[in-house]
Chain A
Amino acid sequence: MTAALWSAGLATGLALLSSALSLLTARNPRSLRLLVMPVFGLAGLVALCAGLLALTQGGVATATLPLGLPWLPWRIRVDALSGLFLSVIGVVSLAVGIYGPGYVRSFERGRDSLPALGGFTGLFLTGMLLVVLADDAYLFMVAWELMSLSSYFLVVFHHDSAANRRAAFLYLLMAHIGGLAILLGFGVLASFGGDFTFTAMRSAELSLPWASVAFTLAFFGFGMKAGLVPLHAWLPEAHPAAPSHISALMSGVMLKVAVYGFIRVVFDLIGQSHWQWGVAVLAIGGVSALMGVLYALLQNDLKRLLAYSSVENLGIIFMGLGLAILFQASGHGTLGAVAFVAALYHTVNHALFKGLLFLGAGAILHSTNERDLERMGGLLRRMPWTGLFFLTGCISISALPPFNGFVSEWLTFQAALQAWQLDSGVLRSLVPVAAAMLALTGALASACFVKVFGVAFLGQARSRHVRRARPVPMSMRVGQGMLAVLCLLLGVLPTTFIGLLGGVTRQVLGQALPQATAHGWLWLTPIAPATASYGAPLVALALFTGLGIGLWVFGRGNRRVRRCDAWDCGFAPPAADMQYTATAFAQPIRRVFGLLFHIEETVTPQENGPPRYRLNVRDRAWGLFYLPVARTVERAARQVVRLQSGNVRIYLGWSLATLVLLLWIMA
């Protein structure tokens, strides 16, 4: 286990090193892709190895760092849970490290500050690794802030546009409100445990009201970072604003760090579970999943769409966690473990396919300078490899067999279907409703990604620069390909991977899933073979055999396909602007779920020329949640302004009064 700890430390060091090395880029712009990004990727690789070591070996290793305050040293610890998240961070960082050199090349000629890009990317990775390694609240909060702040600078990297600056400010604000909640949550735990170390917090005995307070604070803080509805509105602003490989890190990895924090605090440190908490998490997760995918469907900006879909997927993860708490609290340990494994599986899956999709969006941006779906089209023929990998990501995220997204959704369904074992009638009927929401989410997600792939990669190009798109460099293709292969592997060999997760469930829930892996690698049977089984390798074998026979055997020789014109109904041949647009594709769904959005739709007739159509879809969370809060804060600030007289003596008086008050309270 110490090997895992050492290599995790090495990974953190390498991340810091890549951050320091990026100072060289001020002189020599090429060193960003020749030196900084490779070191970054290496840090990812080492983190991945450390994580896999921790997962396979089991056990716990701790160390005290010679850093921090004299009476409050920093402690780090590697166990199975942190091992899993180390590998998630590592694998996406490795892909980004491979992909990055090609992508950042376009920045070399620009006016953008390269030391800032490389430096904050390295710090960002350092922060995330340290959050996962931290074994006391002090280091955890420092690392958390390091992660939030460095990612703020990455969001604001393209600071020429006012929209990006606004998005970044909103992100900073939200990150800090969330951080504050987490800090207060740790405060509650520390006051019962008597110390800031996680060991002390774990052994603390919390009364139910205080445990609920700590849970609420943690759920609020981590949920804010994870982008759960209704706190999500910052996420689709901030994630797309960053350069694409950073978006991949933010959506793919940073959101997972929030999931890690939630699991660490709620499952590990608080160590109690109550069904009310489970219901709250399940409900918020369900609403996030559904709203996230509906908003994603209506987006035409590819990166914004992907960001909204992150809200959806985090919702699915939290649904799994909610079910786990629910079953755990009702005394059904095995079922809790199934739901928990489903959540962990989806966490890994989302990191892989969302990373992949953001890298794909970056590749499109790189070669066409376009983020708007309405101007894309026909990219599959221009960029076949990126198209293939993007398709893999789309199938995976739409939860279709035999790819990885399906496995985690299947497990979540399996857990939800065991609701009949619960004692309370209300819960028994509530859980199936959540399953219905999950089913609707899955179906809408597949509609959403048919839209994305169909509009961007199929059909004909809708603008000139997209028609002339060129394939991206090899390094970018390899980065995407790696994640795509992992998506397929995790989909085809779920049993092997769930066996790997056994250490995490044993550590966190004290319960493993012996049944899941009992019938060999071919069969996934989470509860019992008679209850449910899924032969993922066989499904994949059948599909790929069918495809192979079809393309190679039938498509050869004189049975080749002859080309002709598309059917034009006897009128003009089909042109690019006759195709269905992204807006048109989503129109039926927009109409049916219209009440959930804030839609402004106007058609203005023009004197000469066709009428102009304007559509504006806004997030209802702004009007319902963000603006009232902002207005209240503003009103309160106006009251406080009265203190501000401009006279120094009065300010000193206020300070003295405060001091006296504090002394009185403390005494």
Chain B
Amino acid sequence: MNGTAWGLALLQALLYAALAPLLAGWVRKLKARLQNRRGAPLLQPYHNLYKLFSKEARMAHTASLLFRAAPYIVFVAVWLAASSIPLLTTGLPTAAIADVIVIAGLLALSRFFLALAAMDVGTAFGGMGASREMFVSALAEPAMLMAVFTLAMTAHSTNLASVVDYQLVTNQEVLRPSYLFALAGLVLVALAETGRIPVDNPSTHLELTMIHEAMILEYSGRHLALMEWSAQLKLMLYGTLLANVFFPWGIAQGTGLLALGQGLASVVVKLALLGAALAVCETVLAKMRLFRVPDFLNLALLLALLGLLSHVILEVGI
């Protein structure tokens, strides 16, 4: 049993890595269609990764060893964080390695090295990107933690598998008010953290507007591939967090084959829907000025805090 469970956990981790480019391609394709373009094929991100991995990696004369180490740390940290979120089933041992605070910590670790790598070459772009990224994340991280704390306090556990199990066991058809607040807060945070419109634009290289792209400007070859892949993984991570924790329908609780298949089908459908919603949002919204972002994220923090307070005041003991 234990061996199977760890094998499944490994499989789930591989599934995360395999599916992440697909989600990115799906969002990109839909967005293009919504903007009356034909868009790149659905599988284009895979081609891009393959191309980048087979190309030569180059780095600036001024870059240090940290520049080379950072892509691996960033990728592993994001991948590990993603693998700890239940994708198909809740009965996996990986969930015990990292609870939701550790997941936030791992994301913070990846961001720390991303920002440092950006500053390593010593160009103005890198510093700008690092400064903005740390600024945005400093405001987004508390909002994210508050949102997940609401769930954790309801389920009396910070372990995401337990949170999902709790949701399934109590079988609530109606979302609680605290959940709605937390969900709204977490959606805003997810937009900011994954670098989507209205906070950042993933498809621009215009120096005044970019955050994430400014940080990876100096990367090439396999290093760039890892950086892009981890950005796609991060999108998938937040997608799964929203899809499986707030709407846990269909997720397997054991390791039976049928249940796993059902879990896979349901999570694919949920992520496709979320991706579609993201594409619509990115089409109808415009990017904000950088100094409007604090208002946006303060709203997220406020919503998350309201969720937490409405939980501790209204729902405890009921």
Contacts and interface: CB of A to CB of B under 8 A. Distances in A.
A579 B127 contact: yes
A57 interface: no
Contacts of A433: 305
B152 A417 contact: yes
25 contacts: A380-B66, A381-B64, A414-B101, A433-B305, A435-B146, A436-B145, A436-B301, A439-B142, A439-B146, A440-B138, A443-B142, A447-B134, A458-B120, A459-B127, A460-B62, A539-B97, A543-B80, A550-B71, A551-B69, A555-B68, A561-B57, A564-B59, A574-B124, A576-B122, A588-B135
A538 interface: yes
A419 B156 CA distance: 10
A436 B139 CA distance: 11
B130 A446 contact: no
Contacts of A460: 62, 122
A533 interface: yes
Nearest to B309: A429
Interface string A582-601: 00111111011000000000
B62 A566 contact: yes
A531 B155 CA distance: 9
A406 interface: yes
Interface stretch (B105-113, B249-257, B262-270): B105-113
B149 interface: yes
A71 interface: no
Interface in A442-470: 442-444, 446-447, 449-451, 453-455, 458-460
Contact of B72 (A428, A546, A559, A565): A546
B113 to A, nearest CB: 9
* Residues of B in contact with A, size category: 35 or more
Given A532-B99, A549-B72, A588-B131, A439 B60 contact: no
B135 A458 contact: no
Contacts of B131: 451, 580, 584-588
Interface in B135-188: 135, 137-142, 145-146, 149, 152-153, 156-159, 162
A458 B122 contact: yes
A530 interface: yes
Contacts of A401: 102, 105-106, 109
B95 to A, nearest CB: 9
Contacts of B59: 561-564
B61 A564 contact: yes
B39 interface: no
Contact of A589 (B101, B121, B135): B135
A413 B75 CA distance: 26
A554 B72 CA distance: 10
Given A444-B138, A564-B60, A410 B97 contact: no
A420 interface: yes
A447 B276 CA distance: 33
B116 interface: yes
B260 interface: no
Contacts of B71: 550
Interface in A477-493: none
A641 interface: no
B258 interface: no
B261 to A, nearest CB: 27
A63 interface: no
B149 A417 contact: yes
Interface stretch (A26-34, A332-340, A392-400, A496-504): A392-400
Given A555-B68, A564-B61, A588-B131, A578 B105 contact: no
A425 interface: yes
B290 interface: yes
A473 interface: no
Interface in B87-135: 96-99, 101-102, 105-106, 108-109, 111-112, 115-116, 118-128, 130-132, 134-135
A153 interface: no
Contacts of B228: none
A561 B134 contact: no
Nearest to A395: B112
A563 B125 CA distance: 19
B145 A435 contact: yes
Interface string A520-564: 000100000111111100110011011101110011000101111
A377 B121 CA distance: 11
B138 A589 contact: yes
Contacts of B60: 563-567
B308 A432 contact: yes
Contacts of A565: 60-61
B51 interface: no
B284 interface: no
A450 B115 contact: yes
A439 B189 CA distance: 14
A432 B158 contact: no
A562 B112 contact: no
Contacts of A585: 127, 130-131, 134
Most buried by B among A378, A455, A539, A559: A539
A554 B118 CA distance: 21
A538 B93 CA distance: 12
B123 A566 contact: yes
Nearest to A440: B142
Contacts of B123: 566-568, 574, 578-579
Given A458-B64, A534-B102, A592-B139, 8 more contacts: A440-B141, A532-B157, A532-B158, A533-B97, A534-B99, A561-B58, A567-B60, A588-B290
Contacts of A413: 101, 145, 158
A542 B125 CA distance: 31
Contact of B80 (A398, A530, A539, A559): A539
A399 B106 CA distance: 10
Interface string B47-63: 00000000011111110
Interface string A357-398: 000000000000000000001101100000000010001001
Contacts of B158: 413-414, 417, 531-532
Contacts of B135: 447, 588-589, 592
A439 B134 contact: no
Nearest to A543: B76
Contacts of A432: 146, 149, 153, 305, 308-309, 312
A31 to B, nearest CB: 39
